[in-house]
Amino acid sequence: NNAVPLINVETEKAEKLFQSALNDLELADKFKSDDFITKDIIATINLQLGNKDKAIDGFQEAIPYGNRYISELRESVKKDGDKEGLKEKEIESTFKNIVNAYINIFNLYTEREESEKALEALNKVLEFDPANKEALLQMAKYYENRKEFEKALPMYEKMLEIEPDNIDVLFNQGILFKSSKDIDKAIVNFEKIIGINPDDAETMYFLALFYTEKEQYQKVVNLIEPKFENFSDEWKDKVSDYIQVALVKIGRAIDAKNYQRN
C-alpha cells in the first residue's frame, strides 16, 4: 500500500517496497500454498514490477484457489449461516478479485498480441460476471478490430441492457452500425444521444452526415440551423457543407450562403 502512491513519483523507492513485500509474500506462500489472496497479491506485485510473465502465471495459478475459496465459503453459509453477512462480503470480494485477475491476464496477453488467449480471458470474465462492462467493451473492440461486426454488436446490446442511456456505448454502437452499412439503426442511436445531450456537436455532425446519406435534408436543417452559432469553429467547419447542401435541396439556396466558411 505504501508503494502504490510512489509508483510515478519515486519509482525506485516504490520498487524496493514492492520487492520487499514480494519476498515476504513468496515466503508465506511456501508455508501456506493454498491461499488465494496471497497468490493474487504476488501476481499483482509482479505486474507492478513489470514481471509480466510471472504476473500471468501468478494470476492463472491463483484463480483456481479463489474458486475453491468461494465454494468453501458458500458451503459454510449453507451449513452455519451468515448472520452478519461477513462471509457474503468475502465471497463478493474474492469474486471481484478473480474477475480482476482475468482482466489483468487479458491486458497482458493483449500487450503481447496473443489475441486468442486474450479473448479466452475475456470469456472467463463473462462466465463469472455476464454484465461486466469492461469485458463487454473490450470484447466488442476485439471483434471490431477484426471487422467481425456481427459479433461486436451483441456486446453493445448487452451493455445497453445494463445502461440504456450510456452515451459512450450508444455512440460506439452507432458508429459500428454505420460501419456495417445500417444507417437507419445508426440514426436511432444518435437521435437518442441528442435526446440525452441536445448540444453535443459531434453527435450532430454524425447525424447530419447520416441524414444526408438518407437524403433527409429537412432533418439536417432542423438539426443544425438552431445550434450552428453555438458550435466551435471546428464543428462549424465540419457541418457547414451539410447544411448548405440541405438548404439548397429544400429550396432555400439563398440561406445557404450564410453558412459558407472561409
pTM of the shown model = 0.72
Q: For 36-67, what is each residue's pLDDT tens digit?
A: 988 998 898 888 888 999 999 999 999 999 99
Q: With helix as H, strand as E and coil as C, how does 14-76 read?
A: HHHHHHHHHHHHHHHHHHCCCCHHHHHHHHHHHHHCCCHHHHHHHHHHHHHHHHHHHHHHHHH
Indicate the angle between helix axes 52-80 and 36-48, nearest 10 degrees. 150
Res. 166: pLDDT tops 90: yes
> What pLDDT is stored for residue 3 in this prediction?
40
User: Hey, CA dihedral for 41, 43, 46, 48, is it positive or negative?
Assistant: negative
> What pLDDT is stored for residue 8 in this prediction?
45
Give me the half-sphere count of Cα atoms (radius 13 Å) on the Cβ side of residue 260.
8
Position 43, amino acid: A
Residue whose C-alpha cell reads 479466452 in the numeric block = 120
> What pLDDT is stored for residue 27 in this prediction?
85
CA neighbor of 225 nearest in space, from 212, 211, 208, 213: 208
The C-alpha atoms of residue 246 and residue 224 are separated, in whole angstroms, by 10
Res. 1: pLDDT tops 60: no
Burial class of residue 139, CB neighbours in 10 A (0-12, 13-18, 19+): buried
Burial class of residue 90, CB neighbours in 10 A (0-12, 13-18, 19+): middle
Residue 147 sits at the vertex; the CA angle it makes with 135 and 194, to the nearest 5 degrees, is 70
Q: For 114-163, what is each residue's pLDDT tens digit?
A: 988 999 999 998 888 888 888 898 889 888 888 888 899 999 999 999 99
> What pLDDT is stored for residue 133 in this prediction?
87
Biggest CA pair distance of the chain: 84
C-alpha cell at 129: 460476471
Share of the chain above pLDDT 70, in %: 94
